[in-house]
Amino acid sequence: MDVDRKREDLHKILLEQVKKNKKSQMTIAVIGPPGVGKSSFINTMIASITGEYRQWAKTGRGEGAITLRAIPVFQKKYMEFADENLQQCVFPDILDIVGFEDSDDQVTRKAIELLFYGRIPSNVLVHEFLNKMRTSGTWPVEKMYPLTAECKKIDRVIFVASAANSNLPLELCNAVRAVISKKRDIPIFGVLTGRDKRSPALENFEKFEERFKSALGISNLNYLHCTSYCDDNINKIRVVEAKNYPDLDIPVLEFLKQVLDPALESTDIIRPGRFTWIWFLEILYTTPAKFKGISASHWVLVAIVIALLVVILAILLK
């Protein structure tokens, strides 16, 4: 079977998965640190779906060009240019989540949690949102974006890293997994871009791949190593006779078959509440933050209350 025929067959299968009324619209979050090729991969996904490359997601070089943007949402935009056959399908919303460095702390986890619950509007600048949480605390910011019936929760997560960089973003991987295991069970997928730009420092690439998959807790079925449509191959795409390249599209289409599989589900995790000392201290710490934000004075308050409880307990045990 030639590559054009194979791409055509995969395309038909993909269209069947997103036919109207078969399944409600899906929302996919594409996340990863700056410079790994998230936007280029989004453009590649859309090109594989529509059969034509366009720069839907804004790409840029350098962290400044990436982290100063809000979260763009793609679906209505690319469907406006689709043919009639494609317009009979419900393709997913794709969120290009920018602004996260490779870190795993309370603010990063809370920001990811709010994003995955659809509570952050797409016109919010992520770096400003993160900075506000670091200065004012997570509770005040969380109150600004309450959970409502209109909130659109994330149904799939695609974590993107680059094979051009020998350092994997393991901290951010851990933060994403922690949020998923705590609040919402979301199918997660991993993508290594830069198949054509593999770092010369990666002497054992198989081990590198396994570390990435292990960090995300995924199997080979949920993993893709690919080449994206990007600046280095854009001149070929501009040729009228070659809007798309089957060699680039086929691995992505096979990957999207799994991502858009209607058998996969995302569910909210509901845990029964119970009283523990950890829970008590968390309430004690976060309650003042609802009104004034987190500061050193709150820690002093926590210490005073704990000291009083210790004294009382000591008296009772005499």
Q: Round the CA-based radius of gyration of the chain to a whole number and report it.
A: 23
Q: CA 46, 259, 251: angle at the middle one, nearest 5?
A: 60
Return the bridge partners of 223, or none.
190
pLDDT cut 70: percent of the chain above it: 71
**CA–CA distances in Å: residue 131 to residues 63, 86, 127, 128, 250:** 16, 40, 6, 5, 40
Nearest Cα to Cα of residue 270 among 183, 186, 151: 183
Structure confidence by residue, pLDDT tens digits, 41-94: 988 888 887 777 777 666 654 433 333 344 545 545 555 555 566 666 677 788
CA torsion sign, 203 to 258 to 187 to 61?
positive
User: 122 with 98: CB under 8 angstroms?
Assistant: no
Tokens of 292: 């004034």
User: 174 with 215: CB under 8 angstroms?
Assistant: yes
Whether 12 shows a pLDDT value over 50: the answer reads yes
Extents of the domains making up the chain: 3-268, 277-317
User: 118 with 146: CB under 8 angstroms?
Assistant: no
Structure confidence by residue, pLDDT tens digits, 206-248: 999 999 999 999 999 999 999 888 766 666 665 544 566 777 8
Nearest Cα to Cα of residue 225 among 156, 157, 163, 176: 163
Average pLDDT in the 25-53 region? 85
The residue length of the chain stands at 318
213 conformational bin, left if phi > 0, alpha if psi -120 to 50, beta if neither: alpha
Structure confidence by residue, pLDDT tens digits, 305-318: 888 888 888 888 76
pLDDT cut 90: percent of the chain above it: 22
Give every CB contact of residue 92 below 8 A, 6+ residues apart in sequence: 18, 25, 26, 27, 28, 75, 155, 156, 260
Report how far residue 172's alpha carbon sits from residue 180's, in angstroms, rounded to the nearest whole number: 12
Per-residue confidence (pLDDT) for residue 153, from 0 to 100: 86
Is the entire prediction scored with pTM above 0.75? Answer: yes
Per-residue confidence (pLDDT) for residue 104, from 0 to 100: 93
**CA–CA distances in Å: residue 308 to residues 45, 228, 240, 301, 312:** 59, 60, 77, 11, 6
Place of tokens 């900075």: 131
Q: What is the DSSP string of 257-318?
A: HHHT-TT---EE--------HHHHHHHHHHHHHHHH---HHHHHHHHHHHHHHHHHHHHHH-
Structure confidence by residue, pLDDT tens digits, 258-280: 998 888 888 887 765 555 555 55
pLDDT confidence bin for 177, thresholds 50/70/90: very high
Q: What is the CATH number of domain 3-268?
A: 3.40.50.300
Per-residue confidence (pLDDT) for residue 214, from 0 to 100: 95
